[in-house]
Each structure stands twice: as C-alpha cells, then as structure tokens.
Amino acid sequence: MADNGTAPAALFERHQSTLQEAVAAIHGRYFWTPHPESPSPKVYGDEAAPEGQAAFEGYLGKDFPLDQPGGDDRIITERSPYGISLGVGYPHADADALIAAAEAARPSWRDVGPQGRAGVCMEILHRINRRSFEMAHAVQHTSGQAFVMAFQAGGPHAQDRGLEAVAYGYDTMTRYAGAARWEKPQRKGDPLVMDKRFHVVPRGVALVIGCNTFPTWNSYPGIFASLVTGNPVVVKPHPRAVLPLAITVAVAREVLAEAGLDPNTVLLAAERADEKLAATLALRPEVKIVDFTGSTEFGDWLEENARQTFVCTEKAGVNAIVIDSTDAYKQMLGNIAFSLSLYSGQMCTTPQNIFVPGGGIETDEGHKSAEQVGADLAASVSRLLGDAARATGVLGAIANDGVLRRIEEAGKLGETVLESTDIAHPDFADATVRTPVIVRLDADRRDVYGREHFGPISFVVTTADTDEALRLMRETIAERGALTAAVYATGEDVLAAAEKAALEAGVNLSANLTGQVFVNQSAAFSDYHGSGANPAATSSLTDPGYVSGRFDFVQSRRHA
Amino acid sequence: MADNGTAPAALFERHQSTLQEAVAAIHGRYFWTPHPESPSPKVYGDEAAPEGQAAFEGYLGKDFPLDQPGGDDRIITERSPYGISLGVGYPHADADALIAAAEAARPSWRDVGPQGRAGVCMEILHRINRRSFEMAHAVQHTSGQAFVMAFQAGGPHAQDRGLEAVAYGYDTMTRYAGAARWEKPQRKGDPLVMDKRFHVVPRGVALVIGCNTFPTWNSYPGIFASLVTGNPVVVKPHPRAVLPLAITVAVAREVLAEAGLDPNTVLLAAERADEKLAATLALRPEVKIVDFTGSTEFGDWLEENARQTFVCTEKAGVNAIVIDSTDAYKQMLGNIAFSLSLYSGQMCTTPQNIFVPGGGIETDEGHKSAEQVGADLAASVSRLLGDAARATGVLGAIANDGVLRRIEEAGKLGETVLESTDIAHPDFADATVRTPVIVRLDADRRDVYGREHFGPISFVVTTADTDEALRLMRETIAERGALTAAVYATGEDVLAAAEKAALEAGVNLSANLTGQVFVNQSAAFSDYHGSGANPAATSSLTDPGYVSGRFDFVQSRRHA
C-alpha cells in the first residue's frame, strides 16, 4: 500500500505548482522548462555524472531488472553505433500476456482520476530527470547521438515534451466542470433542477512504438499523453534502442507501485527483430490508441489497419530551405552547415532540399551564384567538421546500416558538391562516423529530391527563381510531408510569401536563422513539432487534438 | 463589399459578449441559452408566427431561392409526413461543381481568422433564430415532428447546439497565444530571443450529411464546428428533409455576402434519391472532414472509406432503461411513457430496451410483478395518447415507410404488451400517425433486443435480477452502442452500480427521471449528446475532440 507521501493525491500536491506553470506555458508559448539542459555538476550535482555512468555500465552484459508478467524469456537485440557491446537482456512477453496485464490495470488507473494521474506522471518525469546522465549514456549507445546531445535531447528536452503532454492532457480534462447543478427556469412554478456529474472515460490500452534515433524524445509525448488521460501504456521500443525505454518503464513501474497502483499500467514490449510485435499489438481490439514514430511505410500501414484506434504517426518528410537572399551570408552558411551535420542528419527535422535560384542570390558579401552558394556551404560543413573531436561531438555515430548504405549511394543521385568521409572517433575505435554528403540537382529532378533520403544527405536544388523555389517547397511538402521548412530572405515580401507557402503546405517555418537556433530543433511548450497538416505527421507534439482523442466525457444526471 | 456594420470584425464585436457567455457555459455546464424555446408572441413578437407560416407557404410549389454554382438543374424530393404536397425545387449540382466552388472559397475563409469567423457564424445563428417559426414549419413537414417540437428541436435547441460548437471551436483556437516572444537564457551573454507566430490552419472542405428526422439539430454542430475552424462546408441534406437546411444555407450565404466574403463558403448539395452524392463527395481528396447522422451501415462505410477525412458519425444504438425500484411509480411510468411516445420514438435517444427483474420491483405502491410493470407502462402510454389532439401533439407523424414497416412487423418479435394503433390527425387528413408498440421478451432474446428497431418499438425485457439487467445494459451498449441509458432505483448502491456500468459502456446515464426532464432530451452547453465511447457515435456533441480534429496549428519564427 502507498503511504501518504507517495499516494497519487500527495504526488499531485507535490507537483501542482510546476503543473500550473506548465499549463500557463502551453497557453503563453514562451520559454519555460523545469528540466535544466546543461549536464553541469552545478546543476545536477557533482555525483550525478559518475553515478549515471556507473548505472549505465551496471546494465551491460546483464538482464535488465524489470519484473513483468510473461515468463522468463529474455532477449538481447541492441548494439552500440559506437561499437561497444551492450548485451542487456530484456524480459520478453507475447501480445496476450501484455494485453491481459494492461487490461487488468485499466480500471484502477482510470479510477485514480485526472489529478492523481497527473501527480503520478509528474513524479515519474521528476525521477527520470534525476537520472538524466544514466539516460544520456543509454541514448548515446542506442541512437548514436553524441553524449551532450544524448543528454539534452534524450534527457531534459524529452522530459519537457512528456511534461507538455501531461499539461495538455490535464488542462483539456479539467477545463470543463466535473459536476454542475443545472437549473432551467419554467414559465410557471419552480425551475427544473438537475445535478450532473461528468467523468473522463479513457479509451483503452495505448501502444507507443519507439524509434531508433530518438527513443525517449519521440516516445514521451505519447506515453504521457495516454497515461494522464487514463490509459495503460504498452511501450514497444525499437529493437536497437530498448535501454532508454526500459529505464523509463522501470521508473514508471516503481512510482506506480509506491503509489499503491498496478505497475502493469506501464509495460515494456521488447521484441526480437522481425517479430512484428508492434503490428500484432496494434490490431488487438483492446488497443485503442497508437503512437508511432518511424517509416512512412509502417505509419501508413497503421493508419490503414489499426482502425479501432486513435492513431498518431510521425513519418518521413522532405524538409526544405529556400534561399532568396541574406544580409548575413557567413552566419547563414554556418547555421545550415550545423543543421546538416548535427547527429549526422539523422533527425526527422534535418533539412534535405536547399532551393537556390539559378541566377544566384544577393548577400552582404555581394552577389553569389548558385554554384558558389553550394561550394560555400560545402566549405562551411568541412570547416565545422575539420577537427575530429569537435566533429564527433556534432555528428555522433551512424545509427544503422540503412543510413550507411544511403550515404554510400548518394553520389549516384546527382553532381556531388561535398563527399562524405570517415572520421576516426577519438574515444571509440569501432564507432561508425561519417560526414554529410551534398548533391546538386536541377529543379526537374523531383524524382530524387521529392522523396526522403534519411541521413546526412542533402540536395542543393537550382530553381528558375525564388517563386519556383517556394512553389517546389510547397508542392513537395504537401505531397510528401515535412517537419521543418526554412527561408532566408531580406525582403518582407519574400518572407510573407514564404509564410503563405508554409501555411498552404502545413509546415512550421523558420526565417533567417543565423545564430544558435537551428531549424532541426523545437522547444517544448513553445514550438510545435509537426503539424498534422501535411503527410509527415498526423498530429503535432503537442496540441489539443493530440490529447483529446485519448478520452471521452461521459455524464450522469439526476433530479436535485 | 461589406460596409462596416456587416464586416466580420463588426459581427464579432456585436456578438462577442454572447460568445463569452457561451464559452463560460461550456466550461461551467450550467443551464444557459440565448435562444428562447417558447414559441410565444411575448418572446418572438406578434408577427413572428404568421410571418413564419407565410414564409413557409411561400416556398411551396416553387423553386427555392438559392443562387449556387452548377447550372439550372432543379430537383424535387420531399413529401410531408402530414400528407401535404411540398413541391419545392432545389438547385442540383454535381460533385465537381460543388468541390470547385468550395475550394475556391477556402483561402478567403481561412484568412478571416478565428474572431471574424466566430462573428459570421453567430450572425448566421442569430438570423436563423429570428426565423424559428418558418423553420418550425419546414422541420414539421419534412421530419414529421409535431409543430411545437419542430419549433423547439428544429429551432432554438438546434441553434444552441450550433452556438455550442462555435464556442468550443473559438475557445480551442484562441486558448493558445497567437504570437509570443521566446527568450531562452544562455550561460554566457544575451538570451536567445525569437518572435513566433501561431496560425490556425483549417483542414479543408467539410461535408455535413443530414438526416431525415432532425435535419437542423443533428447538422448544426458539424456545420458550425467546421465553419468556425475555417473550413468551407458542403451541406448534403437527406432527400426527404431538404427545406430546413436550404433555409439554413440561404441565411449563411446572405450573411457571407454581406460580410464581403465568398458565399460559396456554404453550399447546399441537394440530391436525387439513390444518387449517392454523399458517398461521392466523401471520397473526394479535397474533402477533409465529414459529419454524418444516420444508419450504422453508411456510418461504418464512411469510417472505413473516407480515410482522408476526420469523420464524426452518429449511428444507431440500443438505448436502455434498467428498473430496479422506485418511490414514485406513477411518475416513473408517466415519464417513460412520454419518452416512448415523443415524436413516435423516432429519436436516436428514445429508449428501446426496458430491463425489469423477473421477481418484480419494490415501489411506493407496493411490490409490482414484472408483468404488472409492463401492463402499467402500456396503460400509461394509452392514457397519455387517449385524446387525439394531445396524442398528435406528442407523436407527430411517421417520417418514412421504413418506420411504418417496422411498426407493422413488431408484433412478431415477441409477446405484444401494447399494440400500435392509427390516429386520425385533427388538422391533416393524410398524416401518417401511429402509437407505440411494446413487446415483452425474455433476457435470452438478445438476437431481438440486441439490435436497433428505429421507431416507436420498445421491449420490456425480463431479467433474473437487477445485476443481470445492468450487465445486459452494459454488454448490449458496448457491443451495439447507445446514446442514452436510464436507471430507476431507490438504493444508492444500485445507482452507483448503474453509474459504473454506464462508464464501462461509455453511455450517458439519467437516474430516476420522474418529472419534466426526459431521457431522450439533452440540453446544449450542459449535457453531452453521445460520447464517442461506444459504437453509436464517434464523438460527442460537443467536446474538445469534436472541434480539434478540424484544424491544425502551424507556426513561424524568426530572430527578434
């Protein structure tokens, strides 16, 4: 049984003021976070870094400590992109065992109510935050992200997205009265008086399908949106990125147990490669919600086939930059070069298509031909990655063989402006590290740039003029989707035209980024990630539609 | 061009305080309405009734005045259930013409923005309200509702549901900042500062498919939810109930034109019987939202096939009453008798299955056997409908031949407790009027009571005890859906068990209704109609999920 300090009501009270701040932030959309992004001892304490590393190393070569239903079967499916052996064994259960356990947990989690569930969710996030160093190593050695990025994107930024989902869910559930007295005046005599109660009814078991590259950041919105709205969650990690979600599930189960609740409210569904457990689970009638990040092919399959569910998918896209003109040429090139290089372009938000007018562009350094822009961008990338230690801190490692193969074959797609090279990692001899490749294409090669080439592969596409560039951006995104778009222009007319094109394409736009904000990055509580308005994603992280599909209101009434 | 008084901004200003009251009401869920339900000269003025009747009669035998794209083709498809000839000709256009016109209107309606759109929507509703008598005749002679009900349900109550949708849409769009300055502190130096703008991006063309029995009440939520969120609306009425929606579309187009906007933002899609225009429109790629009220068969087809859309359906169900005990036996019988008789049971909310324990029930008039309860209910219905004038005021007329056929065949389904009879209408010699039929069944005849029998057909189902009654209510509703459930019980334990069963089944529950509130009726701003949590409907009228699937947020950002 829960003692008073760990019961849901106590957890709600403990975290209530932070929740109120989070709700205010999603309304105001200003900068806010309770999760410091700096991996500094001044913030997380002197012991946090060594303890986190020790915790990570303690998992290696052993069975992960997770007591779940489904028997003693253990599986090992991960290898680090940095070449080290992980060898962590995870409990393996079949769909029947997972669904039965989640279904059994369902009524008790529903009956906790919105406040208590928000309290439990926030305590889970709070404890995950304190384990951000441990999580950083786990994310680094599954995704291939460099350590600092793994800390930030896999830790505090992912926690922010989780908390944002809690805030949206809590706000949407509690914004409407839970009880009301209804008094209808009558022409003669006393009014009709009814007492009414309004309940949040969760949809059912939720399935969250994680990806290889951002195991926590892309999963936390779905996990916490479904949890706070009352649905038990089965977390199905990518077979190559299990550890970050195993830690997450372990923390969640610990908090649930301490709160006197059924730990099977959150379950890990580790699977063997090619087991297709996600597809099996998604078709189970008990499963009513699916969150997915990954390939267009499987995302489309889920949308077509998991008909009994509320499906949120984030799939591939053709992110675009239109360069019209700039008054900060060097800074523009530096900003784009960093965006192309960060985590070896393995972000769903990395720009792919850079549209440049064939007649060149006006800059603060004079007119630049389209050819010159491509060459200068290549030089900027090379400069950024000239030093191996700095390069690997930006690039991280290549997550999987699919990316590697696409890099190797990119040269055949057009005229190579920048070749990819190997870099030896100073700390990990067997790490797979590659620099970006840039290819030049004419505007008529839409067969190439009109589809996604996931990884550090981008195209400088020469267009007739800026109008054609904006049109191609709009058309390719409307057709194939995108999570990001950017424009560089000195004239307000072009910026307005770009904004209009972005609205038509349903894509979030960044204008004239030249400093330490990059088009690949979005800030929780302020920036929307994805929109739902183009084929790259069915919804935004996070907006009202993302949470309201996870529960219904059901009422009762009687005479007062 | 719009003059200042009819422009969207002016309309928003004019209706802003009412909108604020509506938004407060959906949050508080108390009684509120700006649309008086009484068809009294004291409320609507001495001229309203005769003017409304004259307006209605002015339509008969003529082409309806509606200037729409698509040529000069006119069609006549209606006949009054009261036997009078309508002969109103409606413009007929094919899907290509309708979609082209709606698509052309789309950008301008989007660019009006949330405030202006709310203003236009509220002006439309305001003008419709002033034409409530005209609308009452139109609804009476298409649906078959009695006049006073047609006035209330087709007029003010429908307008309430439309305004409720405007309030939900406006609130959900404007609850998040439209612009924000984001300032992120840096460890060294100045903060990063970005200016951001957040746009509401509507989904696309919306299709609203009306029904025969509640042409306005069931269509207004979809029409106004889609409109306020920025989507042009194609209104496809039921071929037997065109006039109420033709009037609605005409008013909308008048307000749009006066506001300087494209009247094709709202279009009427009248069709010939068996033309299948709804299916054709629903599959058009430009159509992104579908609202439908009608058969389970076509609703399921839409959910399966209109995959590019946000689909909201309201379909059939097996509404239930569980009688355990009562301390107001006569009033209970009177309340149920009225619910079964109102509009000849042709409401999606009319109770069908009345579960009574085989051992009988305890009442303030002593123990009553199950057989006695059935007989007393039949007597109560007969008493209510004993006078022809009063009876037709409750029953209205039978809307279509399908209902008539089911009444005629109901006797074969079990043991008849109350036979249906013809009633001669005092004002309309050719009206088709029938009283309800009640049939007794054992609990094992789930093959009969487990599916919907739309019309004045109900079953008294004898169960082993109240537990079995609650279980059958829960199971049949979870399987086949329901819009309403009710319970009569004197013990709080049974009421609590009923509420739990209703939550599990996802159905709204009324307890111990004995006065002038009936289970068939739901009050906008307070009662949810449908829930989305059982198969009868994919969503509630109206809740956050109902509006948030109709638009996305898309942002832009730049350095401050």
Query: Could you tell me which of A487, A488, A483 has the C-alpha nearest to residue A520?
Result: A483
Any idea what DSSP says for residue A361? E
Q: Cβ contacts of residue B520 below 8 Å, gap of 6+?
A: B339, B342, B347, B349, B350, B351, B484
**B410 pLDDT more than 70:** yes
Q: Cβ contacts of residue B390 below 8 Å, gap of 6+?
A: B384
Q: Cβ contacts of residue A429 below 8 Å, gap of 6+?
A: A83
Measured distance CA(B171)–CA(A213) in Å, rounded: 37
Tally of helices (H runs) and strands (E runs) in chain B: 19, 19
**How high is the pLDDT of residue B3?**
56
pLDDT digits 0-9 by tens, B526-559: 999 999 999 999 999 999 999 999 999 999 999 9
Query: Could you tell me which of A169, A237, A164 has the C-alpha nearest to residue A203?
Result: A169
Query: Could you tell me which of A520, A539, A540 has the C-alpha nearest to residue A213?
Result: A520
Three-state DSSP state, B125: helix
> Peptide bond before B542: cis, by omega within 30 degrees of 0?
yes
Angle at B360 between CA B357 and CA B363, to 5 degrees: 120
**How high is the pLDDT of residue A5?**
84
Per CB-CB distance under 8 Å, the chain A contacts of B289 are none
Measured distance CA(A261)–CA(A476) in Å, rounded: 48
**How high is the pLDDT of residue A2?**
46
**How many Å separate Cα A217 from the centre of its chain?**
4
* Minimum CA–CA partner of A555 in chain B: B508
Measured distance CA(B374)–CA(B357) in Å, rounded: 11
Q: Cβ contacts of residue B508 below 8 Å, gap of 6+?
A: A554, A555, A556, A557, B483, B484, B485, B502, B522, B527, B528, B529, B530, B531
Per CB-CB distance under 8 Å, the chain A contacts of B540 are 552-553
CB B522 within 8 A of CB B498: no
Average model confidence (pLDDT) across chain B: 97
The pair of structure tokens assigned to B190 is 């100045």
CB B559 within 8 A of CB B193: yes
Query: What's the number of CA atoms in the CB half-sphere (13 Å) around residue B301?
Result: 13
Q: Which amino acid is at A21?
A: E
> A313-344 burial, b for 16+ CB within 10 Å, e for fewer?
bbbbbbbbbbbbbbebbeebbbbbbbbbbbbb
* Neighbour count for residue B232 (Cβ, 10 Å): 28
Angstrom distances, CA of residue B373 to CA of A180, A399, B369, B392: 33, 71, 6, 25
- From the list A182, A539, A559, the residue facing B515 with the nearest CB is A559
B103 touches chain A (CB under 8 A): no
Compute, in degrees rounded to 10, the torsion defined by CA atoms A383, A389, A395, A396: 180
Q: Which amino acid is at B286?
A: E
Three-state DSSP state, B31: coil
Contact criterion met (CB < 8 Å) for B510 and A558: yes
Measured distance CA(A145)–CA(B548) in Å, rounded: 35
Contact criterion met (CB < 8 Å) for A533 and B545: no
> Peptide bond before A174: cis, by omega within 30 degrees of 0?
no
Angstrom distances, CA of residue A117 to CA of A99, A177, A444, B506: 21, 18, 53, 20
**How high is the pLDDT of residue B224?**
98
Per CB-CB distance under 8 Å, the chain B contacts of A509 are 554-557
Measured distance CA(A416)–CA(B279) in Å, rounded: 50
Angle at A334 between CA A333 and CA A335, to 5 degrees: 90
* Neighbour count for residue B390 (Cβ, 10 Å): 11
Mutate to test the interface with A, among B33, B182, B301, B492 (most CBs of A within 10 A): B182
A29 touches chain B (CB under 8 A): yes
Measured distance CA(B44)–CA(B37) in Å, rounded: 10
pLDDT digits 0-9 by tens, B110-136: 999 999 999 999 999 999 999 999 999
> B436-462 burial, b for 16+ CB within 10 Å, e for fewer?
bbbbbbebebbebbeebbbbbbbbbbb
Three-state DSSP state, A110: helix
A545 touches chain B (CB under 8 A): yes
Compute, in degrees rounded to 10, the torsion defined by CA atoms B301, B303, B304, B306: 90
Contact criterion met (CB < 8 Å) for B502 and A528: no
**B187 pLDDT more than 90:** no
Measured distance CA(B514)–CA(B328) in Å, rounded: 7
Measured distance CA(A3)–CA(A10) in Å, rounded: 9
Q: Cβ contacts of residue B305 below 8 Å, gap of 6+?
A: B279, B282, B283
CB A136 within 8 A of CB A383: no
Q: Which amino acid is at A500?
A: K
pLDDT digits 0-9 by tens, A345-383: 999 999 999 999 999 999 999 999 999 999 999 999 999
**How high is the pLDDT of residue A3?**
56
**Which residues of chain A, if any, have pLDDT below 70?**
1-4
Mean pLDDT within B386-415: 95
For each of the domains in chain A, give its residue range(s) and CATH number, in order of start: 8-315 (3.40.605.10), 320-511 (3.40.309.10)
Contact criterion met (CB < 8 Å) for B516 and A192: yes
**B273 pLDDT more than 50:** yes
- From the list B514, B517, B552, the residue facing A532 with the nearest CB is B552
pLDDT digits 0-9 by tens, A417-428: 999 999 999 999
Contact criterion met (CB < 8 Å) for B176 and A29: yes
Q: Which amino acid is at A75?
A: I
The pair of structure tokens assigned to A316 is 């591939």
Total CB pairs under 8 A between chain A and B: 196
Residues 151-210 of B with CB under 8 A from A: 172, 175-177, 180-187, 192, 194, 196-199, 201, 203
Angstrom distances, CA of residue A87 to CA of A90, A216, A237, B106, B495: 10, 20, 16, 56, 55
Angstrom distances, CA of residue A434 to CA of A211, A256, A343, B249: 21, 42, 10, 61
The pair of structure tokens assigned to B410 is 């109901």
Asked whether the CA dihedral B53, B56, B61, B62 is positive or negative, the reply is positive
Residue whose entry in the numeric block shows the structure tokens 């995104």: A477
Measured distance CA(A201)–CA(A208) in Å, rounded: 20
Q: Cβ contacts of residue A226 below 8 Å, gap of 6+?
A: A206, A208, A233, A289, A291, A550
Full 3-state SS string of A441-482: EECCCHHHHCCCCCCCEEEEEEECCHHHHHHHHHHHHHHHCC
Distance to chain A for B521, nearest Cα, Å: 12
A111 touches chain B (CB under 8 A): no
**How high is the pLDDT of residue B1?**
44
Measured distance CA(B395)–CA(B149) in Å, rounded: 10
**How high is the pLDDT of residue A273?**
87
Q: ipTM of this predicted complex?
A: 0.96
pLDDT digits 0-9 by tens, B479-488: 999 999 999 9
**How many Å separate Cα A306 from the centre of its chain?**
21
Biggest CA–CA distance in chain B, Å, is 88
- Residue B5 banded pLDDT, cuts 50, 70, 90: confident
Contact criterion met (CB < 8 Å) for B555 and A307: no
Length of chain B: 560
Per CB-CB distance under 8 Å, the chain B contacts of A192 are 515-517
Distance to chain B for A241, nearest Cα, Å: 31
pLDDT digits 0-9 by tens, B375-397: 999 999 999 999 999 999 999 99
Measured distance CA(B485)–CA(B407) in Å, rounded: 23
* Minimum CA–CA partner of A27 in chain B: B176
Distance to chain A for B176, nearest Cα, Å: 4
Compute, in degrees rounded to 10, the torsion defined by CA atoms B529, B534, B535, B541: 20
Asked whether the CA dihedral B490, B495, B497, B502 is positive or negative, the reply is positive
**How high is the pLDDT of residue A402?**
94
- From the list A181, A527, A531, the residue facing B30 with the nearest CB is A181
Measured distance CA(B556)–CA(A510) in Å, rounded: 6
pLDDT digits 0-9 by tens, B331-383: 999 999 999 999 999 999 999 999 999 999 999 999 999 999 999 999 999 99
Per CB-CB distance under 8 Å, the chain A contacts of B517 are 192, 194, 557, 559
Per CB-CB distance under 8 Å, the chain A contacts of B516 are 186, 192
**How high is the pLDDT of residue A187?**
87
Measured distance CA(B392)–CA(B427) in Å, rounded: 10
